[in-house]
Chain A
Amino acid sequence: MDTIIRITIDGIECMASRGQYIVEAAKENGIYIPTLCNYPGVKPKGSCRICTVKVNGKLMTACTTPVSQGMQIENNTSELNELRKAIIELLLVEGNHFCPSCEKSGFCELQALAYRFKVMVPRFPYSFPLRKVDASHPKIIKDQNRCILCKRCIRAVKDDKGRSIFAYRRRSHRVEVGVDAKLGKLLTDELAQKAMDVCPVGSIIVKEKGFAVPIGERKYDNKPIGSDIENISVSKH
């Protein structure tokens, strides 16, 4: 069976591999679809909704929808970009995000997306929630103020027996990512670092280390998020 199929993204003919998620197919074709809860190598969850595209006219998340032959995808449209900007603003007003003092500033994907989408002042009222900072674990700090509930840590960080170290707690607007009281204490340096790296924002911070990279040299200081994808040459099938 032919595994290479044709799709179009914003009218541009693209080649993709059957079964590949839209977001990956787009990337291989040099097209950036903004993502936040998605993480390479981790099963997608489609919870932030930022990668929402229109597939044959229907709103779908690009990180969870596999491509199929002849699929017509809308991505870079004013309607979708406006929706994405609104979602970024929603995440900003939901928590307490003070970029200047955050260890992840310059590496934070939410911050980088806000710059890319030119968020000035959120249209929504800030909710200023009272949230906790859990510093009870020897290796990490879990700052709930900055958590955007993307589930990346939940999905990516497991102990050697495959057990979850992070998990959701409660539901609705009360939901939060909890750290297992026992397993959190047993975190290795390696896993702690992985948890911090997997977190798109500054909600998981490895203790006793911070601000290692000077301003100006940080990941998103010079080039906007997504530009690495847009600059790669289109792969030839």
Chain B
Amino acid sequence: MKTATIKIIEKYKKDKTRLMDILIDIQSEIGYIPPHAVSQIAEELHMSEVDVEQTISFYHFFSLKPTGKYNIYLNNSAVATMMGRAEVAATFEKELGIKFGQVTADGMIGLFETSCIGMNDQEPAAIINNLIFTKLTPFRVKEIIRDIREGKRVEDMFYASYGDGKNATELIKSVVSNNIRKIGPILEKKNKPGEAIKKIIKMSPTEVIDEVKKSGIRGRGGAGFPTGLKWEFCRMAPGEKKYILCNADEGEPGTFKDRVILTELPRLLFEGMVIAGYAVGATEGILYIRYEYKYLGQYLEDILDKAREKNYLGKNIGGKKGFDFDIRIQYGAGAYVCGEESALIESAEGKRGEPRDRPPFPVEKGYLDMPTVVNNVETLCSVVKVILNGGEWYKSFGTTESTGTKLLSISGDCRYPGVYEVVWGFSVNDILDMAGATKSDVQAVQVGGPSGAIIAPNEFNRILGYEDLSTGGSLIIFGNHRDILADVVMNFTEFFIEESCGSCSTCRIVPSILKKKLEKILNARGVMQDIDDMVEWGKILRASRCGLGQTAANPILSSIKNFRHLYEEKIQKNKSFDSGFDLNAAVKESCEATGRVPYI
């Protein structure tokens, strides 16, 4: 084992900035990061052990303690719960005789919870040894456990057919479904790979940037920064080397469109990265993918190899002298905050995924302190189409403020969950029609994931676009029978508590306090003051450094704004104060032990 660790460290040339890769390799080889490996890494990389541990302990998929030979990570997103997760979870615990967070006594099977894994259209879903299992039922869980006990390889445990499209191909072989429901100019496969590269080598980098600017495209991750402008800033920024980072850390619960792009259109994405590289003068690209999508790894590496063979990557691309660009894949290890661009950069440098202070912005000082463009998967794909068909063409779709099309990830209570490519300007009502939701049975729609807003039917005529309802593309539909506060708002709040990097005092402390308030209201101990407190205290989060912290109270704040009656129904009407402390419950155990009756 000792030599295995050394080999891995040497594979990455003892490079501190590749610590994530070193840890991922050790974790998958040994099942955890043992103390001797921590010591060796520290020694070889000239760091202290506590420094190595700070990276390890930040990420959900790294462990300092032994895990199982088989490790089951069951998704705990709100939609998973809506689709029957409770029974599935109970079956896992019962069959294995352990609780979540534990490993069986024989060291064989570990059972863990994990935040949204990007499978909201096919929940409940779990990751077992890097492979995805979707649409789980108690019956299926029993089969899986039986297979594990028989010692089957995980890849031999699928009994149904593989998913649609490329999911069924040799290098993926996954049961995941794409569920593409509506195709538009980005998702259609009309153009041949490399076509846009042939076009840009006849253009100057500034002409490429001008075309992108002309298209009016804005970042598809959610923040909506104009892409052309970002590229221009990076091009102008002084730096001996520049980088293109593609953000495929799709972690916003309810978003899964990037997973579908990575499965069906990786060539388009890589071409987009090459174009960005040409435009800003970057020679290296990094595709940062969340670890949950590791099952696509071999397939993506193969496509990169083929692109190198065709000279779409490498030196003198397309025969153009000096046009050098290559791409490497960087995996995350389970941290939602790494979807924030500066946290993503920190993580790609082998550190904890803690967002950076801005300024400086990544376009000035990003990866390894060099000018860096961080773009969303969808943005980079869209750019290829902009180059092929022109900025004017792209602008002809959508609205004035929001040009082009948007990929939506739709899930929840509807007949056709999946990925839809729509022009900007659709109303929420249109979306509900499209996804086959029964309008009379829709209580609420979560737009933009937990960090977005939950809206009620009176707002369903609002328009998706940067000018009205801005979204990274996640829409979750909740039917009338759903308990919004208990099942949605609580779930999202817990998500933010879990995924905070812990650096800002505001984001580290406030969400837990808000959760206690919400619990108090759900336990029928709340009073009007509690609602007012939550509104006031939620505002403190606006002083946090990054988008995660700033929006961590959004599930509570937007539900109080749009569903206040749900809170008011649960509070005590005739009381203005309640400590929320249940003395009877607190002394119950000691009363039972001593045979006393509480004197209250």
| Extra inter-chain contacts (17) besides given A52-B543, A183-B48, CB under 8 Å | A49-B544, A59-B542, A64-B357, A83-B540, A94-B508, A94-B509, A123-B533, A123-B537, A124-B537, A127-B513, A151-B503, A163-B48, A164-B50, A170-B58, A172-B501, A172-B502, A180-B51
Q: Which residue of A lies closest to B503 (CB)?
A: A47
Chain A residues with Cβ below 8 Å from B499 are 172
| B residues 305-334 touching A (CB-CB < 8 Å) | none
Enumerate the 3 nearest inter-chain pairs by beta-carbon distance, A residue then B residue, closest first: A175-B502, A180-B50, A64-B357
Of A61, A66, A149, A163, the contact of B508 (CB 8 Å cutoff): A149
Cβ-closest chain A residue relative to B53: A169
Contact residues in B for A163 (Cβ distance below 8 Å): 46-48, 51
Identify which of B49, B50, B500, B545 gathers the most chain A CB atoms within 10 Å of its CB: B50
Query: Considering the complex, which residues of chain A in the window 195-222 have a beta carbon less than 8 Å from any beta carbon of chain B?
Result: none
Distance (whole angstroms) from the CB of A190 to the closest CB of chain B:
18
A141 within 8 A of B: no
Mark interface residues in B517-551 (1 if CB within 8 Å of A CB, else 0).
Answer: 00000000000000001000100101111000000
* Any B CB within 8 A of the CB of A44: yes
Output the nearest chain A residue to B360 by Cβ-Cβ distance.
A66
In the complex the two chains form, is B505's CB within 8 Å of A49's CB?
Answer: yes
Q: Is the CB of A182 within 8 A of B49?
A: yes
CB contacts (< 8 Å) of B50 on chain A: these are: 164-167, 169, 178-181, 183
Q: Is B27 an interface residue (CB 8 A)?
A: no
With a cutoff of 8 Å between Cβ atoms, the chain B residues found around residue A183 in the complex are 48-50
Question: What is the CA–CA distance of A181 and B53 in the complex, to the nearest angstrom?
Answer: 11
B residues neighboring A (CB under 8 Å): 46-51, 53-54, 57-58, 335, 352, 357, 359, 497-506, 508-510, 512-513, 516, 533, 537, 540, 542-545
On whether the beta carbons of A90 and B54 are closer than 8 Å, the reply is no
**Cα–Cα, bound, A174→B512 (Å):** 11
Determine the chain A residues whose CB is within 8 A of the CB of B497 once the complex forms: 172-173
- Chain A residues positioned under 8 Å from B48 (CB to CB): 159, 163-165, 167, 180, 182-183
Taking a contact as CB atoms under 8 Å apart, the answer to whether B545 and A46 are in contact is yes
User: When A165-B48, A178-B54 are in contact, do A171 and B335 touch as well, CB less than 8 Å?
Assistant: yes
Q: Looking at the assembled complex, report how far the CB atom of A209 sits from the nearest CB atom of chain B, in whole angstroms.
A: 25
Residues of A within 8 A of B513 (CB): 90, 93, 124-125, 127
CB within 8 Å of B: which residues of A?
44-49, 52, 59, 61, 64-66, 83, 86-87, 90-91, 93-94, 123-125, 127, 148-149, 151, 159, 161, 163-175, 178-183
- B58 near A171: Cβ-Cβ < 8 Å: yes
Q: CA–CA, A83 to B490, complex, Å?
A: 25
17 chain-A/chain-B pairs, Cβ below 8 angstroms: A45-B357, A90-B505, A90-B540, A91-B505, A125-B513, A149-B505, A168-B54, A168-B503, A170-B58, A171-B500, A173-B497, A173-B508, A173-B509, A173-B512, A174-B502, A178-B53, A183-B50
Instruction: Using CB atoms, name the residue of chain B closest to A80.
Output: B543
- Is the CB–CB distance between A167 and B357 below 8 Å? no
Closest to B506 in A: A49
User: Are A149 and B502 interface neighbours, CB within 8 A?
Assistant: yes
Q: Do A87 and B540 contact each other (CB < 8 Å), given the known contacts A49-B506, A167-B53, A171-B352?
A: yes
Nearest residue, chain B, Cβ from A50? B505
Whether A125 contacts B502 by the Cβ 8 Å rule is: no
* Residue numbers in B under 8 Å from A48 (CB-CB): 504-505
Nearest neighbor of A178 in chain B, beta-carbon distance: B50
Find out whether the CB atom of A167 lies under 8 angstroms from the CB atom of B54. yes
**When chains A and B are docked, how far (Å) is the Cα of A182 from the Cα of B502?**
25
- Smallest CB-CB separation from B52: which chain A residue? A167
Task: Tell me which residues across on chain A come within 8 A of B335, comparing CB atoms.
Answer: 171
CA distance A168 to B47 in the complex (A): 14
User: Complex formed: what's the CA distance from A133 to B57 in Å?
Assistant: 20
Please, which residues of chain A bring their CB within 8 A of the CB of B508? 94, 149, 172-173, 175
Which chain A positions have C-beta within 8 A of B505? 47-49, 87, 90-91, 94, 148-149
When C-beta atoms are compared, the residue in chain B nearest to A184 turns out to be B50
Contact between chains at B510 and A90 (CB < 8 Å)? yes
- The CA of A26 and the CA of B210, in the complex, are separated in Å by 41
Docked Cα-Cα span, A163 to B49, in Å, equals: 9
A59 cross-chain contacts in B, Cβ below 8 A = 542-543
Q: Are B352 and A168 in contact (CB under 8 A)?
A: yes
A75 to chain B, nearest CB (A): 14
Please indicate the chain B residues that have their CB under 8 angstroms from the CB of A171 in the complex: 57-58, 335, 352, 500-502
Contact assessment for B359 and A173 in the assembled complex, using a CB-CB cutoff below 8 Å: no
Rounded to whole Å, the gap between the CB of A94 and the closest CB of chain B is 5
- Say how far A145's CB is from chain B's closest CB, in angstroms: 15
Contact B500 A172 (CB under 8 A): yes
**Docked pose: A96 CA to B244 CA in angstroms:** 45
Would you give the shortest CB distance from B160 to chain A, in whole angstroms? 36
Please give, as numbers and ranges, the residues of chain A lying within 8 Å of B49 by CB-CB distance. 180-183
Q: Closest CB of chain B to A27's CB: distance in Å?
A: 19
Q: With a 10 A CB-CB cut-off, give which of B48, B335, B543 has the most chain A CB atoms.
A: B48
Q: Which of A125, A169, A178 makes the CB contact (< 8 A) with B516?
A: A125
A44 CA to B356 CA, complexed, in Å: 11
Contacts of A172 in B (CB 8 A): 497-502, 508
The docked-state distance in angstroms from the alpha carbon of A93 to that of B498 is 19
